[in-house]
Amino acid sequence: MNGFPDLQQTTKLLADQSRLEILTLLMDGTFHTVHEIAQAVKIKDQTASYHLKKLEALEWVTYYKQGRHVYYQLINPAVAELLESLMLISPVKKINSYNQNKEFQELKCGRTCYHHLAGALGVIFFDFLIAKNYLILANNQVELTHEGMLFLNRIEVDTNEVKKRAGIFAKPCLDWTERTFHLGGNLGKAFLKMIIRKEYIYQNSDNRSVTLTRAGEQFFQQFSLENQRS
């Protein structure tokens, strides 16, 4: 397609608070009904539908209709990366309530960033891979070592299958709350899918945060750098 990017149209969409909140909610990578989105953003259902249609027109979101319900999902990972980057450079709003502080602490502990594990849990895993030389980080790029491939296969992340997927195999993603990297790319997606499949975490319905199960606590203990030094 010939032409220049219409940045004004993009910035106008992002300038609306409700649309920003909708996109932030959809960064968990799952489907949400229009009513669920409206409730979370505290707007009317028809208002949520209006905003979602604008986002769909830009191919930022897609929908799936089942019965009388319409489910929406973020489909453009670049949007999630953009929002995470904007969070890094935006001024910080003061937390004024117990509920806001609770939500922030939940998101800081662990959350989904589209299809990656972010927050402290994501950073702990990434730092472990670097410390063990399973990943080599240089010039803001990562390379999986042979030992790293063997380790990930042991924890049931099939690296050979991941390599066959279209897109970036692995990359560092700068984390909004931790100000350091978590694992992105297809390898990050595969890791998140694995820990969800094995029920090491469950995704919270109120926001993008995730919570460790008892099995998950045991699984993530191996990634503690303190344990590695002891």
Which residues, in sequence order, are bridge partners of residue 112? 117
Is the model's pLDDT at 69 over the cut of 80? yes
DSSP 209: B
Q: Provide the 3-class DSSP secondary structure of residue 69.
A: strand
**Are 117 and 185 in contact, with CB atoms under 8 Å apart?**
no
**Are 223 and 206 in contact, with CB atoms under 8 Å apart?**
no
Domain 7-84 annotated CATH 1.10.10.10: yes
- pLDDT for 230 equals 40
Q: 221, 156, 165, 222: which is closest to 193 by C-alpha?
A: 156
Tokens 């790319």 belong to residue: 185
Burial class (CB in 10 A: 0-12, 13-18, 19+), 18: middle
Provide the pLDDT confidence category of residue 229 given band limits of 50, 70 and 90: very low
Alpha-carbon dihedral sign for residues 137, 138, 142, 148? negative
Segments making up each domain of the chain, as ranges: 7-84, 106-229
CA 222 to chain centre: 22
Q: How far apart are the first and last CA of the chain?
A: 57
- Within 10 angstroms of residue 206's Cβ, the number of other Cβ atoms is 11
- Within 10 angstroms of residue 56's Cβ, the number of other Cβ atoms is 14
Predicted TM-score (pTM) of this structure? 0.78
Provide the pLDDT confidence category of residue 213 given band limits of 50, 70 and 90: very high
User: In 74-91, which positions are buried (b, 16+ CB within 10 angstroms) versus exposed (e)?
Assistant: bbebebbbebbeeeeeee
**Are 142 and 171 in contact, with CB atoms under 8 Å apart?**
yes
CA distance 221 to 20: 35
- pLDDT for 81 equals 84
**Are 172 and 184 in contact, with CB atoms under 8 Å apart?**
yes
pLDDT mean over 146-173: 95
Lowest-pLDDT range, 4-8, 71-75, 225-229? 225-229
- Secondary structure in 3-state letters for 176-207: CCCCCEEEEHHHHHHHHHHHHHCCCEEECCCC
CA distance 132 to 114: 26
- Within 10 angstroms of residue 93's Cβ, the number of other Cβ atoms is 7
- pLDDT for 105 equals 93
Is the model's pLDDT at 68 over the cut of 90? no
